[in-house]
Chains A and B, each alone.
Chain A
Amino acid sequence: GAGVSQSPSNKVTEKGKDVELRCDPISGHTALYWYRQSLGQGLEFLIYFQGNSAPDKSGLPSDRFSAERTGGSVSTLTIQRTQQEDSAVYLCASSLDRSNQPQHFGDGTRLSIL
């Protein structure tokens, strides 16, 4: 597609449920990033993919968070046993590669945990 596509755009779920967020990057972009943006906060780095591998998972806030990327394209971010503090906007971005290239962002998934 022309831009980074994320789905769903909004997700409301009950505490304790698992959620899966999807990111479809710009075609040909090998680098993919996940961020979390809480109300009034800047973007918090979660994880980076180069192709299908994630060399840096240090930003994932807990072991309830995991992510994968297949075929060097679509990525999913999974949050297990959601907690209220997981409520945030989850943004995905892609770039041609990681070397000083500007990132192109999707519109994000607004996640609300009741």
Chain B
Amino acid sequence: EDKVVQSPLSLVVHEGDTVTLNCSYEVTNFRSLLWYKQEKKAPTFLFMLTSSGIEKKSGRLSSILDKKELFSILNITATQTGDSAIYLCATPSGTYKYIFGTGTRLKVLA
């Protein structure tokens, strides 16, 4: 059965810290892995990764995929209180479906 597992489940850090969020997956016919940030309501798209070793960056956020070891990491440097959110990863499963992990709840303290 296809699955996505995220760790840690929750994390509390102070502003300025660097965090690494993990997402491991098992899926037949891997196509892509996606990261989303969910603050209060709608998850917002961060990155889509399809190839190993190519880092995607957006400001202080970056992500990389390892297709051999079946995982991805999301790094956030110099964290700010506005980074507090649930971070979700997901992968397509089968023809139409997407499987999401349960998310990592990040809280950044001032």
A62 touches B (CB below 8 Å)? no
Q: A42-B88, A42-B103 are in contact. Are A107 and B48 (CB under 8 A)?
A: no
Question: For chain A residues 66-114, which have a beta carbon within 8 Å of chain B?
Answer: 91, 98, 100, 102-108
Residues of A within 8 A of B103 (CB): 42
| A100 to B41 CA separation, bound complex (whole angstroms) | 23
Nearest CB on B from A109, distance (A): 10
Residues of B participating in the A interface, judged by any CB pair closer than 8 Å: 4, 31-32, 34, 36, 41-45, 48, 50, 88, 90, 92, 94-103
Please, could you name 13 A-B residue pairs with CB atoms under 8 Å apart, sorted by A?
Answer: A3-B42, A40-B102, A41-B102, A42-B100, A43-B98, A45-B98, A55-B95, A55-B96, A56-B94, A56-B95, A56-B96, A102-B34, A106-B42
| Given A35-B100, A108-B41, 17 further pairs, Cβ under 8 A | A40-B102, A41-B102, A42-B100, A44-B100, A45-B100, A48-B97, A50-B96, A56-B94, A56-B95, A56-B96, A56-B97, A98-B95, A100-B32, A100-B50, A100-B92, A103-B98, A105-B42
